[in-house]
Chains A and B, each alone.
Chain A
Amino acid sequence: MKKALIICAAGMSSSLMAKKTTEYFKTKGQEIEVDAVSANEGSKMIENSDFDLFLVSPQTKMYFQKLKEAGDRVGKPVVNIPPQAYIPVPMGIEKLAALIAKEVE
């Protein structure tokens, strides 16, 4: 089981995307779980958690550099989510799932 964490401003829109993407992986039979957290807990989560991948939502890309540095310290990937992969419709969910699957391979 692989685990990915989406980081956004308040952890709200990311919770919705995480839930829908986790469900999508379930239906596809892929063992990947997605969770969400707010930006002010982002660095802490990167440095002390068992997630394999961290994703930064498009509206919080201004924090990307700081989060990326935290990722580099622990040798874990931190990637930006493109806007078209951050919409809670089937097409957006598929794009996000594809991005996550590629990164955790």
Chain B
Amino acid sequence: MNIEEVSFQIILNGGNARSLAMEAIELAKKGQFDAAEQKIEEANEAMSIAHRYQTDLVQGEARGEKVEIRILLIHAQDHLMNAMTVIDLAKEIIQVYKKVNEVQ
């Protein structure tokens, strides 16, 4: 797999994880907490796939393999970090909606 393909896999799966986390927030907003937790699970799975591609690159470099650094790859890692942040915050936001729901 060349660096373009690896970058795209990270972008696709990272982007997918982020979309799923946003969907989870929407569900929590509607009070559907089980469905929201389910979406977070799915987001975590997509994240794992994206992460595996990145880990392979990092480990390859550690083994002394030359990794071609492209803007596309840096961009892919932006997607990945972004998705991680959104998932972390989505989990917190779901908890907040739960509390609001209890109070109401």
Report which A residues bind B (CB closer than 8 A): 9-10, 12-13, 16, 57-62, 83, 86-89
Binds A, one of B4-12, B30-38, B54-62: B4-12
- Which B-chain residue is minimally distant from A12 (CB atoms)? B75
Nearest CB on B from A94, distance (A): 15
Chain B, interface size category, equals 10 to 19
Provide 12 A-B residue pairs closer than 8 Å at the C-beta atoms, listed in order of the A residue.
A9-B15, A10-B75, A57-B15, A58-B12, A59-B12, A59-B16, A60-B15, A61-B19, A86-B8, A87-B8, A87-B12, A88-B4
Residues on A with beta carbons closer than 8 Å to the beta carbon of B39: none
Distance A89 CA – B71 CA, assembled complex (angstroms)? 18
Distance A13 CA – B78 CA, assembled complex (angstroms)? 12
